[in-house]
Amino acid sequence: MQHENLHILTATPSLANHFVAELRDINVQHDSMRFRRNLERLGELLAYEISKTMPYTTAGVTTPLAQMQTQLLVEQPVIATILRAGLPLYNGIMNYFDKAFSTFVGAYRVEEENTELQINMEYLASTNLHDKILILADPMLATGKSLVKSYKGMLRHGKPKQVHVAAVIASPEGVKYLQQEIPEAHVWLGALDDHLNEKSYIVPGLGDAGDLAFGPKI
């Protein structure tokens, strides 16, 4: 799958491959702190890559020895995530954009036999998004429906001038749906996997990111 707005960290060997491999490994997943930390590390790597596309300005800096010119970020983005699975990835992105404002969404998928997958959104707390750079952080981009529904809900708080989606692992189906629904979005992935199974889980994937990071839901 190729698209000018699609960027995949593991397409080139780097530390991202190592972090993604640990997230997938059933022999490592039992360590929830390590799992969260690897999500956070990938958030940092994704934030760094996204930062290369953002506007900068030339500014003067005084060192102990001289004055010099350098490039400084013009504005901080808004970082949005879906609770709860998105929190470690969100934290990693916030480590680099440490003055950014935030938007939080409570959304979950409803699975019933013989019915199409439904997404319920019960909570949205957003800052003003008008003319902002928005980064949507979601560790697992499976169907893409939760992310798209969340984004469309955010639009009542303003239309961002630029949209970035940051995910650790995605399916081709999810990426395709996202590009259809938010064609202007730049998509940044740790890895692009093979397919979705009949339960809309990413294969090979890594399992349930929220449960692995914070414990199983009841």
Q: 32-70: per-residue pLDDT in tens?
A: 999 999 999 999 999 999 999 999 999 999 999 999 999
**Rounded distance, CA 97 to CA 192, Å?**
25
154-198 tens-digit pLDDT: 999 999 999 999 999 999 999 999 999 999 999 999 999 999 999
Q: What are the phi and psi torsion angles at 131 (to 5°)?
A: 60, 30
Residue 154's Cβ-count burial label (10 Å; 0-12, 13-18, 19+) is buried
Residue 50: closest CA among 166, 178, 157, 139:
166
> pLDDT: is 106 or 44 the higher one?
44
Sign of CA dihedral 21, 26, 30, 32: positive
Over the chain, what HEC string results?
CCCCCEEEHHHCCCHHHHHHHHHHCCCCCCCHHHHHHHHHHHHHHHHHHHHCCCCEEEEEEECCCCEEEEEEECCCCEEEEEECCCHHHHHHHHHHCCCCEEEEEEEEEECCCCCCCEEEEEEEECCCCCCCEEEEECCEECCCHHHHHHHHHHHHHCCCCEEEEEEEEECHHHHHHHHHHCCCCEEEEEEECCEECCCCCEECCCCCHHHHHHCCCC
Kindly give the pairing relationship between strand 195-196 and strand 202-203.
Answer: antiparallel
The CA distance from 203 to 101, in Å, is: 33
CB 66 within 8 A of CB 88: no
Whether 190 and 42 have beta carbons less than 8 Å apart is answered as yes
Q: pLDDT-based confidence at 77, cuts 50/70/90?
A: very high
CATH entry, 6-54+72-213, from 2.40.30.10, 3.90.660.10, 3.40.50.2020, 3.30.565.10: 3.40.50.2020
* pLDDT for the residue numbered 107: 72
pTM for the predicted model, two decimal places: 0.92
Q: Average pLDDT in the 71-94 region?
A: 96
**What per-residue confidence (pLDDT) applies to 39?**
98
Contact present, 168 and 20 (Cβ < 8 Å): yes
Is the pLDDT assigned to residue 121 strictly greater than 90?
no
